[in-house]
């Protein structure tokens, strides 16, 4: 068995809920009315977005040049684990705690507002370029906690916060850190909505992962954070597989060869056979090409045996935060304090599945499905532009022997 890297702590905020208990309850119940219609992003068009509803906590005012909605989402997640982090900092020196976060939009929305409000070529005084830099979430959290160890962001589009799991593991394995705060955060902005709209990849209404008439994504926002250590926990990182097929700038490899390579690499690092994976959280964007190639890859590796689903019709596609948020869902599945009855939520969707896709074991009904064996390990798929792929394998501490 591979070495386990413990993930004792997790926090999440997204369209499904504002903390892990609410997210779990709504996911288990098959909650669907999570997206909202908005005309604020694409000119002359109304689209569905997976927005986090309600007020967000304020940013730390000591660094006004970092203030953004993206940092507010990060704060909303961080405040859920603040006590755990404080305890962590009594155990380890500030130089021994690292931060690795994924993002793809960062504070771009603040730049958009500044451009809209500029007068005579002057930006508003409240705007600072650092708000929209990709590294700003890690800079903010490092300053807030007074850390002096490694702190950086990964930005590889939709695989950003899946890749942080491998980076965090490597920091621990190399001895560069004793603990890592990792995760991802992304906020809604016009740039991404209009970009995907130009690619004809935004859904006309609700996204339909693996649906017969799927026509694109609902973009979302949110954040998820974890603490990773060398000590095994209830939920652990077992392996990460990465690949870079570089097939096309925005289209995936049509046969899913890069996706399959990442899946197999994750299984190899975790020392697992495909039959030992209980559940796969699919990338499942609801775009025609992505769902097809992913179904082909899953069928080749797992056949029609392994339970799987997409959750992007409930969370929205949270881009740079997607890997972290979807692994947060896997963490909830594996943690007995939440999934005490060993159930896996169904997709609770009312559209027809695409009959032309390979036959994979999609949990498509409105109910939660009882899992009749030990729910021991999960995979989460993240496949990004340019063929930047990452697959994360999490596992419960008691299922496999070391």
Active site residues: 158, 283, 317
Bridge partner residues of 18 (DSSP): none
- Among left, alpha and beta (phi > 0; psi -120 to 50; other), residue 185 is beta
Residues 6+ apart with CB under 8 A from 172: 5, 178, 179, 180, 228, 229, 230
Beta bridge partner(s), residue 219? 49, 317
Q: How far, in whole angstroms, is CA 229 from its chain's centroid? A: 20
391, 382 contact by CB (below 8 A): yes
Tokens 């940013």, residue located: 59
**260/154 Cα distance (integer angstroms):** 22
Burial label for 259, CB within 10 Å (0-12, 13-18, 19+), is buried
How many whole angstroms separate alpha carbon 52 and alpha carbon 242?
30
What tokens were used for 129? 């370029």
Number of other CB atoms surrounding residue 133 within 10 Å: 18
Q: Give bridge partners of residue 202 from the DSSP assignment.
A: 217
Contact call for residues 37 and 46 (beta carbons, < 8 A): yes
Q: What does the alpha-carbon distance between residue 343 and residue 365 come to, in Å, rounded to a whole number?
A: 13
Using alpha carbons, list the distances in angstroms from residue 144 to 68, 131, 151, 153, 372: 15, 15, 12, 16, 45
CB 363 within 8 A of CB 57: no
Beta bridge mates, 154: 102
d(CA 380, CA 283): 7
165 CA to centre of own chain: 11
Phi-psi region of 77 (alpha: psi -120 to 50; beta: other; left: phi over 0): alpha
């Amino acid at each position: 068995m591979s070495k386990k890297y413990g993930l004792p702590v997790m926090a999440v905020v997204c369209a499904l809920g504002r903390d892990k208990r609410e997210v779990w309850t709504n996911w288990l119940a098959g909650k669907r009315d999570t997206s909202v219609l908005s005309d604020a992003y694409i000119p002359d068009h109304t689209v569905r977005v997976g927005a986090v509803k309600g007020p967000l906590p304020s940013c730390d005012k000591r660094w006004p040049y970092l203030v953004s909605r993206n940092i507010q989402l990060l704060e909303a997640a961080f405040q859920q684990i603040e006590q755990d982090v404080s305890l962590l900092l009594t155990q380890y020196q500030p130089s021994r705690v690292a931060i690795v976060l994924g993002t793809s939009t960062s504070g771009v929305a603040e730049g958009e507002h500044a451009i809209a409000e500029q007068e005579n070529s002057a930006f508003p005084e409240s705007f600072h370029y650092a708000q929209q830099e990709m590294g700003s979430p890690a800079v903010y959290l490092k300053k807030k906690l007074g850390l002096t160890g490694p702190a950086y962001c990964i930005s590889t589009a939709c695989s950003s916060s899946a890749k942080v799991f491998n980076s965090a593991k490597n920091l621990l394995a190399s001895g560069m850190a004793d603990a890592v705060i990792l995760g991802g955060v992304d906020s809604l902005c016009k740039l991404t909505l209009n970009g995907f709209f130009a690619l004809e990849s935004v859904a006309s209404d609700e996204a339909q992962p693996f649906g017969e008439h799927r026509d694109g994504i609902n973009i979302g926002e949110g954040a998820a954070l974890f603490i990773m250590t060398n000590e095994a926990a209830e939920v652990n990182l077992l392996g990460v597989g990465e690949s870079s097929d570089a097939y096309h700038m925005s289209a995936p490899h049509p046969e899913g060869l890069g996706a399959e390579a990442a899946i197999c690499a994750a299984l190899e690092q975790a020392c697992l056979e495909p039959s030992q994976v209980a559940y796969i959280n699919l990338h499942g964007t609801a775009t025609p090409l992505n769902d097809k190639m992913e179904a082909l890859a899953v069928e080749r590796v797992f056949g029609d045996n392994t339970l799987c689903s997409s959750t992007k019709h409930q969370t929205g596609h949270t881009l740079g935060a997607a890997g972290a948020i979807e692994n947060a869902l896997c963490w909830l599945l594996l943690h007995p304090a939440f999934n005490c009855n060993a159930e896996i939520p169904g997709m609770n969707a009312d559209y027809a599945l695409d009959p032309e896709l390979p036959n994979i074991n999609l949990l498509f009904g409105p109910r939660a499905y009882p899992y009749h064996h030990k729910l021991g390990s999960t995979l989460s798929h993240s496949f990004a532009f340019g063929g930047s792929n990452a697959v994360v394998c999490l596992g419960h501490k008691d299922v496999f022997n070391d």
